[in-house]
Amino acid sequence: MSVFKGAGVALVTPMKENGEVNYEKLAELVEMQVEGGTDAIVVCGTTGEASTLTHEEHLECIKAVVDFTKKRIPVIAGTGSNCTDTAVYLSKEAQIRGADGLLVVSPYYNKATQEGLKKHFLSIAKSVDLPIILYNIKGRTGVNIESKTLAWLGKNAENIVAVKEANGDISQVADLMYYSQGELDVYSGNDDQIVPIMSLGGKGVISVLSNILPKETHDITELYLNGNTKESCAMQLKYLPLIHALFSEVNPIPVKKAMNLMGLGVGPLRLPLTEMEDEHAQVLAVEMKKAGINVVA
């Protein structure tokens, strides 16, 4: 069974000006997403700056989003780490705190072999009862989870049920669909590839764009799932310049800038991430206005 179908938001973690997590603002963002029709919330992923949260903050954010969401839509907790024991710990604690599923990125920096990846993910899967979405993003981790490895994991771990594919390689997605033979759901991890991946059988997207356009991102997937592929594709292409602007610097720098330009007040980033360069920010603001977004800041 799919953890969700449609558009899941890769939610930012709002910060106060002193760098503390802003839980009051986090509640507002959850409401914005639920009201906008978002189909799932991913908390403490890459976009949520999980790599610079303490373990205590990480788990508190998961618990807060679970509480704020009130079971209206699934909450998927990012619990990946380059240390298997840490990933197991975070995954167990996320389950205790009420998460509906887990998003587990491949271990970064270590550059594990495919055999190492299998053992890493199996260790996590055996430690919890929750459905797990694997996160394949070589640009962040240095290692690609090969399609045959993903398919093997789907067949050998009952609760490894899906993949967030963010390598940008459509051929690899096709291979994954072939080798997994329906054992794994696939979500686009790139907002510019929602329709292409859904055309190969994908279930939707885990989206950065949804932070600023929740309804529209949901509608792209809903239209496709309902067979309105031409309209879905038209929306995908309409927002392509904005999507490119949202990735003109490393995520989540641009999306936090966009949300602050909208007056959402999500605050600063944590080092080593820094504020968006003025040249890129100006382009972002222009594309936001073209997309019909009110820029107030």
Q: What spatial distance separates the first Cα and last Cα of the chain, rounded to whole Å?
A: 43
Radius of gyration, alpha carbons of the chain? 18
CB atoms within 10 A of CB 109: 9
| 69 CB-contact burial (10 Å; exposed 0-12 / middle 13-18 / buried 19+) | buried
Residues 6+ apart with CB under 8 A from 27: 64, 68
Please indicate whether residue 16 is annotated as part of the active site.
Answer: no
Indicate which residue of 25, 63, 118, 164 is catalytic.
Answer: 164
Q: What are phi and psi of 190, to 5 degrees?
A: -125, 125
Q: Which residue has the tokens 């909450």?
A: 75
Residues 6+ apart with CB under 8 A from 220: 7, 194, 195, 205, 232, 235, 236, 239
Q: Which residue has the tokens 């999980």?
A: 50
CB atoms within 10 A of CB 126: 10
Please indicate whether residue 164 is annotated as part of the active site.
Answer: yes
Indicate which residue of 63, 135, 179, 239 is catalytic.
Answer: 135
Annotated catalytic residues are 135, 164
